[in-house]
Amino acid sequence: MADLKIEQTNDGVVFTAKIVPGSSRTALCGLLNGMLKVKIVAAPEKQKANSCLCEFLAKKIGVKKKDVSIVSGKTSSIKKIKISGKANPAKVLAGLSGTSN
């Protein structure tokens, strides 16, 4: 996960993710061209996949669900994800790599 492109902002961090909705399980699938690839169980309808994605990433990174938001790409498979609050690139990478908590 060290090659994930994470941008520090004034109020958190932002990174890009490639989402595959309607998968058999929700899981991280590594990197794809500097983006995080995530398979999501939920279907891409009525924002179910987006909600599932935010909840999954919040658990992995160790932040509250409200601190994870989709900045752009709500109807696209490629999304910009923002982790607000006290998040920093090191915390995000550690959570996504399974080395936090």
pLDDT single digits (tens) 66-94: 999 999 999 999 999 999 988 889 999 99
User: What is the mean predicted confidence (pLDDT) over 49-72?
Assistant: 95
* Residue 79 covered by a domain: yes
Question: pLDDT for 19-35, tens place per residue?
Answer: 999 999 999 999 999 89
State the SS3 of 26-93: CEEEEEECCEEEEECCCCCCCCHHHHHHHHHHHHHHCCCHHHEEEEECCCCCEEEEEEECCCCHHHHH
* Full domain range(s) for residue 50: 6-96
Q: Is there a domain that residue 47 lies in?
A: yes
Give how many domains the chain has, as a whole number: 1
**Residue 33: inside a domain, yes or no?**
yes
The pTM for the full model equals 0.91
Structure tokens at 42: 């939920």
Compute φ and ψ for 99, nearest 5 degrees. -110, 10
